[in-house]
Amino acid sequence: MKQELIALNASVAPQSRRAVSEVVRVSARAHAARFYTVMLEQPNARFYLDQETVSRRLHASLASWLVSIFSAEPLDIERTFASLLDIGAIHARIQIPVLLIMKGFREIKAAIVERLGQIRLEQVDGADAIRFVSNLIDLALAVMMVAYMQASERSVRSDEVFRLFALGKDLAAERERQRAALAEWAQQIFYEMQTSFGAPNVVPLGQSDFGLWFLHRANLFFSHSGEYEAIATAIDKVDSLIERLSADPPPAERVSTILSIKVMVDRIGSLLAMLFDQSAETDRTRDPLTRLLNKRFLTTVLLREIEIQKAQRRPFSLVLFEINKLDQITRELGHAGADSVIQQTASMLFNVARTGDSVFRMGQGTFLIIRVEADARKASTFASSVAERYAATHFTVEGAPFFDNSLTFAVVEYDGHPDPRHTIIRAERALRERNPGGSASVA
């Protein structure tokens, strides 16, 4: 396709190229507006594109891209080709359906051709100009689709490997942990019912530790099973019953509602046991030193969180931690000693994270936590407490205590950008740009 792009670049008459460039330059914003108006009218398009994202981010980007690709000067083939590949990969990461992309490109082509037909082209072969527009749009789409399919295939493989990793955890321990979390929540509400006469002061099941685990992590284990959907429905039913109790109903209705909650909680427990029974332990894929998630799965997990955020408007933040003076630690303790510090740091971060959070090793001494259900303020409070606890921790390295522990952290809240790489880059930039005298950065 690169050769086709080179041939097209050489075959178009200079006056045709300049005429098309001028038409696009003048009307690029109008073409972009038409493009997104039509796109947002398509069924399900608003799941991938909302009005705020379009007006704040994408509209100007599309207009700028149109001006650049329909330049008055011959294209820089290598740069254009690389740019198209990058755009295709971005659309794959965002998971915009191919049909929407193709529909959008048809709209762009039709809009430019329509505009060319509305103006008088002096000393320009109209057919040559239209042929140039049509062929360039088609080639651009073809190059993007190659990158899109390659990125999609990698994403599918990564999704499956990450699912296998989730299944490869110690399912027996996870099963008992979640069974205990569900039982603890039920015990709390039944205790409240016995000891209080007004509305119960309890967290809804969907907001409990069990509920957060089910929403953010259980789909990695069981999302394609009927039992998973049945549990999700049961959680909603339980929370609606809790709301009924909050209205302080008459005694008879109160007893009936409590019994209904018990039936639903028992049903959730039975379904959960069935799900774990059906799951087989498979390959374990982790960072070999720390046993944390490998960063290759970060995009996969972020896409899941972005889907949840779009559907339910629940915030999440990235917290990036870095071990300070790791090079100095390596010089003082050797590689084995530094590895021990890294392992103990990873263990501490994993233990302070909630079951719904995800913890990754990003680099030699860098770790990332996806802090679910947390805006920047809450995530920053969490990160500060972790850094303080870390500074007060004494590690043991080869039998000797190690006291010089400190972490730098950066916090970024998800800002609505559909490409997970954007959020990762923001977190990495925030960590690099931290104040020289401080240990925190919040963006």
Domain range 293-442, CATH architecture: 2-Layer Sandwich (3.30)
The highest-confidence range among 31-35, 190-194, 252-256, by mean pLDDT, is 252-256
Between residues 281 and 206, which one has the greater pLDDT? 206
pLDDT digits 0-9 by tens, 353-389? 998 899 999 999 999 999 999 999 999 999 999 999 9
Is the pLDDT at 55 greater than 60? The verdict is no
CA dist 60 and 40 (Å) reads 16
**pLDDT confidence of residue 160:** 56
CA dist 324 and 366 (Å) reads 10
Examine domains 2-160 and 293-442 and report if their fold is the same. Answer: no
User: Residues 378, 380, 384, 390: what is their CA dihedral angle, to the nearest 10 degrees?
Assistant: 100
The highest-confidence range among 32-46, 162-176, 250-264, by mean pLDDT, is 250-264
For the chain, give every domain's residue range: 2-160, 171-278, 293-442
Mean of all residue pLDDT scores within the chain: 83
pLDDT digits 0-9 by tens, 223-280? 666 788 899 999 999 999 998 888 878 888 888 988 999 999 999 999 998 888 776 4
| pLDDT-based confidence at residue 102 (cuts at 50, 70, 90) | confident
| Contact between 181 and 210 (Cβ < 8 Å) | yes
Please give the CATH topology (third level) of the domain spanning 2-160.
Globin-like (1.10.490)
**pLDDT confidence of residue 154:** 63
**pLDDT confidence of residue 155:** 64
pLDDT digits 0-9 by tens, 15-24? 888 888 888 8
pLDDT digits 0-9 by tens, 330-348? 998 999 999 999 999 999 9
Question: 140: Cβ–Cβ under 8 A, 6 or more apart, which residues?
Answer: 69, 84, 105
Whether the full predicted model's pTM is greater than 0.75, yes or no, is: no
In terms of Cβ atoms closer than 10 Å to its own Cβ (0-12, 13-18, 19+), residue 278 is exposed
pLDDT digits 0-9 by tens, 391-418? 998 888 888 888 788 999 999 999 999 8
User: Lowest-pLDDT range, 81-90, 181-190, 319-328?
Assistant: 81-90
